[in-house]
Amino acid sequence: MAIDCLVLGAGQEVGKSCVVVTINGKRIMFDCGMHLGYVDHRRYPDFSRISASRDYNNALSCIIITHFHLDHIGALPYFTEICGYNGPIYMTYPTMALAPITLEDYRKVMVDRRGEAEQFTNDHIMECLKKVVPVDLKQTIQVDEDLQIRAYYAGHVLGAAMFYAKVGDAAMVYTGDYNMTPDRHLGAAQIDRMQLDLLITESTYATTIRDSKYAREREFLKAVHNCLASGGKVLIPTFALGRAQELCVLLDDYWERMNLKFPIYVSAGLTVQANMYYKMLISWTSQKVKETYTTRNAFDFKNVQKFDRSMIDAPGPCVLFATPGMISSGFSLEVFKRWAPSKLNLITLPGYCVAGTVGHKLMSGKPTKIDLDKDTQIDVQCQVHQLAFSPHTDSKGIMDLVKFLSPKHVILVHGEKPKMAVLKERIHSELGIPCHDPANNETVSISSTLSIKAEASSMFIQSCSTPNFKFLKRNLIDKIDPDLKDLSYKAVRTSNMLIRECSNPHFKHLNRNLDAKFDSSLSCGPELQVSDDRVNEGILVMENGKKTKALHQDELLLLLGEQEHEVRFAHCRPIYFGSLDEIHVKDSLSRKSLWLSQLSFKLSTELSDRNVQNLGEYLQVESITLSICSKENCPYRTTNRIENESTAMVFCCCSWLVADEILAWKIISILEKHDLGST
């Protein structure tokens, strides 16, 4: 069986996350996002690739949304209400509560302010969310008889979750966006250790390793304080849900400690509404926020107030949080146009910005002009400060998660192509896990676990219980680690040197005893090790209308009315046992027994890892038999010529199954190279 992953979005790019996974016949869409860098058809995933007939209800088992950011949920109302999907949709309770806020805010900006054609209405958003089934953390949801899903805490933003999905014995995890380190308002991602066929992980910061969180906070606070002290204004473009709350907590605490009076504003509406939800959903926040909740709600900011549009040109320094975070549209773009021409002002970009947005252009260098469209150019004279306050995990966090879960395969999404290639190579070389980084509209197929419940016949069980002895000869000293062996030797010799310094005869006697014991341990003879692995091969029989059963191979022959056929290879060659004078045993039976004993000793010495059995009439090594050949005209004999008439020569027949052909020729080579009489 295979798991097929069709990447419809976030393949070698950041934006419109959407991955359709087929796992043992069940088809799941993970996330349904839009690309904020486009305003044409490229903003949405190409849903036609899911079903050519556009029958999405039969094509998909369910949709899973990891969190409320637009690049993970922005296309959902369009897919359900315009494209017609009516199946189940799963997301956490906070995501369900906050999703309509972000979707409606986007709709208003794009339709009411930019005048674009309406992609979906407010009614579409409300109807879409009626199809949602909310889930709690670690709650196992049985989507249908075969498909099982479970959510795990992902950090990142309020309500973000990683999702585990299992069908039969095949299992996988889709991370969405996550953060492996806690911040001021959210905890770190948490997930159980599981056996997974596949992990699909974001890779936004595939090659970045962040420095200390406190160092980043100090740098941010210093930049803001210096700008305000110089009479400038600070614009912090950020998404209303997530980084706004994180940075408001940080600034509010700093203002209290430093007794600052500069106003801190948040754009009215969305951020204020979001803060209300954060107060209600305290159980999803960090441990510190939960612990202090009884005495003080961390989201009741003492120094933060609402901002009105009429205050854009008001004189005096201030800090303003405005949405959206990438300055792609909306109020943050409006404020940026007005504040960018002043050298006193500061634009602080605390997170990742998608290519094509104003934020990305500012992060790519220090432009003096930015072309917004063919008719609008923005004069940029302000200071630009980029800080890594992104809620995404860094390269170390991704590697830690992959190592912890140790899946059989990894697929990278939601990242930049060159950086993903570096991370892909690291995962493969350092962890030994096959890793893939498909582009949009590409499919990756990987093998999945398939277990079959089967009964076992009594004959098969009995064959598994039969002793399967293997013998291994090796010196005791070989079991000692070389470093420890050397250390032991030095320790004893050092002790002996100290003893020699003593004049007492008793010490000298003790010294000789220690030397003798140590030298004896180094030259100890071979130790016989015995292993007994009770395993056996059988045949799995699957018949229509009957239970699957494991049979012994002899049972299958009886079932089919057939006889056992075995193809064996044979070779007969001369072997030498020293001079004729050394052969004192006169009767042929005793001579044959002596020759087999000498042959057994030689092979046991040369093949210490094999079980050489002397069964009287012949020797047995795996499927290989060796016997003294008494036929004058053996069909397997290569020569009858005696090279040395003074040497006792006999012929030895060796036969084997094809599976042991390499071992058989190794044994023949041993017989060719050695005079067995010298043993």
The Cα-based distances of 501 to 41, 160, 507 in angstroms read: 91, 73, 9
Neighbours of 355 (CB within 10 A): 14
The span from the CA of 574 to the CA of 595, in Å, is 12
Q: Which three-class secondary structure state does DSSP give residue 649?
A: strand
Neighbours of 501 (CB within 10 A): 7
- Which residue, 8, 46, 1, 53, is CA-closest to 28? 8
Q: Measure the CA dihedral 205/211/212/216, to 10°.
A: -80
Tokens coding 358: 């104003």
On whether the 2-209+391-447 domain is CATH 3.60.15.10, my answer is yes
Tokens coding 174: 């889709």
Pairing of strands 264-267, 304-307: parallel
The span from the CA of 173 to the CA of 660, in Å, is 43
Q: Which CATH class is domain 213-386?
A: alpha beta
Q: Is the peptide bond before 482 cis (omega within 30 degrees of 0)?
A: no
Residue 118 catalytic?
A: no
Residues 6+ apart with CB under 8 A from 8: 16, 18, 19, 20, 45, 46, 47, 49, 50, 440, 441
Residue 559 DSSP class: H
The span from the CA of 407 to the CA of 410, in Å, is 7
At residue 112, the pLDDT reads 58
Pairing of strands 2-9, 442-447: antiparallel
Specify burial of residue 524 (Cβ count, 10 A radius: 0-12, 13-18, 19+): exposed
Residue type, 526: P
Angle between helices 505-522 and 482-500 (to 10 degrees): 160
Spans of all domains in the chain: 2-209+391-447, 213-386, 469-532, 568-678
Instruction: Please say whether the beta carbons of 539 and 527 come within 8 A.
Output: no
The span from the CA of 368 to the CA of 363, in Å, is 13
Pairing of strands 233-237, 198-202: unpaired
Task: Dihedral sign for Cα 534, 535, 539, 544, please.
Answer: positive
10-44 burial, b at 16+ Cβ within 10 Å, e below that, comes to bbbbbbbbbbbbbbbebbbbbbbbbbbbeeeebbb
At residue 502, the pLDDT reads 45
Instruction: Please say whether the beta carbons of 541 and 551 come within 8 A.
Output: yes
At residue 4, the pLDDT reads 96
Q: Which member of 13, 202, 246, 555 is catalytic?
A: 202
- Tokens 């296309």 belong to 75
Pairing of strands 147-153, 442-447: unpaired
The span from the CA of 199 to the CA of 149, in Å, is 14
Instruction: Please say whether the beta carbons of 469 and 612 come within 8 A.
Output: no
The series of mean pLDDT values per 10 residues for the chain, 679 residues long, is 92 94 95 88 93 94 96 96 96 94 82 65 94 96 96 94 95 96 89 96 92 84 94 87 81 93 80 72 84 77 86 92 80 89 89 77 80 81 82 93 97 96 97 97 88 81 72 53 48 46 46 49 55 72 81 80 81 74 58 84 85 88 89 81 66 87 88 59
Instruction: Please say whether the beta carbons of 394 and 208 come within 8 A.
Output: yes
Q: Which three-class secondary structure state does DSSP give residue 508?
A: helix
State pTM to two decimals: 0.64
SS3 assignment for 149-202:
EEEEECCCCCCCEEEEEEECCEEEEECCCCCCCCCCCCCCCCCCCCCCCEEEEE
Instruction: Please say whether the beta carbons of 412 and 436 come within 8 A.
Output: yes
